[in-house]
Amino acid sequence: MGPERDLPAGLAVHAEQSLQGALLAPGLIDCHTHLVYGGRRAHEAELRLQGASYEDIARAGGGISSTVVPPAPLAKPICCAAPGAAPTP
């Protein structure tokens, strides 16, 4: 995208398409990671190397959904209070 004069030497435009005002974003990749997660999935990399698909892993109980389950209920409530304050029942 841009003026033809900005093409590197040796490259040429072979065809043009009208986008009729639409946005073109080639190669847009949303690379990101989640620093806080609720489980470990490192073993899934080995499964992928062995040919398992993400769908195969999910059907076997793995995948992203296996790390987003709510934590088990706490045995007793956790409360923040000023030092010396009476605990909340």
The better pLDDT of the pair 84, 29 is held by 29
pLDDT, residue 38, reads 63
pLDDT, residue 59, reads 94
CA gap 15, 86 in Å, rounded: 76
Question: Which sign, positive or negative, has the C-alpha torsion 54, 55, 60, 66?
Answer: positive
User: What phi-psi label fits residue 63: left (phi over 0), alpha (psi between -120 and 50 degrees) or beta?
Assistant: left
Q: Please state, for a pLDDT cut of 90, what percent of the chain lies above it.
A: 19
Residue 12 CB partners (closer than 8 Å, separation 6+)? none
pLDDT, residue 5, reads 83
pLDDT, residue 53, reads 94
CA angle 15, 25, 20 (to 5 degrees): 55
Residue 52 has pLDDT above 60, yes or no: yes
